[in-house]
Structure 1
Amino acid sequence: MTTEWSLSEMELPTLRPLAGGTRGSGPMPGSVDAYPPATARPDSLDAVREHLECVLPALTSLQSQAYHLAAWGEELARRMLGGHRLLAAGNGGSAAEAQHLTAELVGRFDAERVPFSAISLHADTSAVTAIANDYGYEEVFARQVRAHGRSGDVLVLLSTSGRSPYLLRAAEVAARLNVTTWALTGRTPNPLASICDEAVAIEAVSANAQEGHLIGLHAMCRAFDAEVARRSHTATSEGIRQP
């Protein structure tokens, strides 16, 4: 027997009415005035302003490495058009950034184009938990690199600290398989930036470095898409069929 549970409106918590009047009066929803800011303590406001000010060093650091990001985008396009794949890994928030990157490649970033093979190594929960249980968590990414990585593939590793032993182990395995490793890290020096083939290190505090990683990945995707479009146009002009 299945029991169905439901909440009546009377059982739901009552929300504090918005300032500015009753429903149906005042500004339209979506306007700035429709949702006036709540009262903020001075220390909370200071914390927010400090965080936002720390975004600027991350952006400055990224701008100084724009050439690097453009080169990554172009090289990734050349390899993926040649049949290679991208693997990506990170822990916590960096795992989300890694999955964001693979989604842009398997789906699309801006313009319509063919899909490309990209795998987030943390996203297969059955594989992650099985490997961690049988081999220890240190092998959770490394073993997947051994399974999926082929010579000429690219492994992108994200870590604000650059000290994750699980990512370092994955980079070591990738090197033996001739899989190119690119790191996105926070401040240097750090072990991950040193062990990988190339690195973009964002000189900012941890949270802002992680925000910078997403901006950097988007910038790389723009270069990637531009190179894919350029090569597709050239191939079409020369009568060469693209994958």
Structure 2
Amino acid sequence: MMRNNMENNDLILAEIREHQDTVATLTDPELLSSITAAARLVTSVIAAGKKILVFGNGGSASDAQHIAAEFTGRYVKERRGLPAIALTTDTSALTAISNDYGFARVFARQVEALAQPGDLAIGISTSGNSENVLQGLITAKGLDCHTLGLTGNGGGKIATLSDVLLNVNSKTTARIQEMHILIGHVLCSAVDRIYE
């Protein structure tokens, strides 16, 4: 049975208000400082001619692809394409690695193949505990790459593997993912400023 319009409007308003409340948490001084540090890290990696590898599961996989596309295509400013790869897009690699090594190694194996010292690995996990994201970051650190974690729920295990941690103060997966894209756009904007 369909709910009436009043109940639907209340649900919609509740979702929008929760989103707005979560956006407001991004201006917390500690998180704002971490976002600034992340922007400096991303711009320094790009300025040094290094690349960015981005990975996550489910909605975070989509976020990884979105962020990588903003770098390789463009965000706002017309500039050269920048080296960023989402490790979530090659179905042959994803299925072969998962089949041969297990799903926990699906990102680590690609990082092992593609990363060079000084590159940046961005691991995205709303829980902060996705095993394959953890393994990807561990491998990146072992190859002398920089690491950036985008999380929620307190940061989870990814907190200990991230040179910079961007932990959204929420336990709601949808709100965390919405903030991850907003933060991703902030990082893209910081890179655009290099080309002014």
Task: State whether TM-score is above 0.5.
Answer: yes
- Kept in 2, the 8 Å contact 1:87–1:156? The answer is yes
- Kept in 2, the 8 Å contact 1:70–1:219? The answer is no
2:152 is equivalent to residue 186 of structure 1:
yes
- Kept in 1, the 8 Å contact 2:105–2:135? The answer is yes
* Matched ranges for 1:72-221 at <5 A: 72-204=38-170, 205-221=172-188
2:17 is equivalent to residue 53 of structure 1:
yes
Q: Offset at 1:76?
A: 1.7
Determine the C-alpha separation between the residues in 2 that align with 1:173 and 1:203: 27
Q: Offset at 1:174?
A: 1.0
Q: Offset at 1:43?
A: 3.7
- Kept in 2, the 8 Å contact 1:57–1:203? The answer is no
Which residue of 2 is the match for residue 240 of structure 1? Answer: none
- Kept in 2, the 8 Å contact 1:70–1:223? The answer is no
- Kept in 1, the 8 Å contact 2:63–2:180? The answer is yes
Which consecutive segments of 4 or more residues in structure 1 shift more than 6 A? none
Which residue of 1 is the match for residue 192 of structure 2? Answer: 225
Determine the C-alpha separation between the residues in 2 that align with 1:202 and 1:108: 25
Determine the C-alpha separation between the residues in 1 that align with 2:155 and 2:95: 31
Flag the 1:155–1:225 CA change in 2: closer, same or farther, 3 A.
Answer: same
* Secondary structure of 2:75's aligned partner: coil
Flag the 1:56–1:81 CA change in 2: closer, same or farther, 3 A.
Answer: same
Amino acid at match of 1:99: Q
Unaligned runs of 5+ in 1: 1-38, 231-243
Flag the 1:201–1:118 CA change in 2: closer, same or farther, 3 A.
Answer: same
Unaligned runs of 5+ in 2: none
- Kept in 1, the 8 Å contact 2:155–2:165? The answer is no
Highest Rg: 1 or 2?
Answer: 1
Determine the C-alpha separation between the residues in 2 that align with 1:80 and 1:224: 8
* Secondary structure of 1:140's aligned partner: helix
21, 24, 36: which is aligned to 1:70?
36
Aligned residues: 192
Q: Taking every aligned residue pair, what percent have the same amino acid on both sides?
A: 34
* Secondary structure of 2:26's aligned partner: helix
* Secondary structure of 1:142's aligned partner: helix
The structure with the largest helix share of the pair is 2
RMSD: 1.8
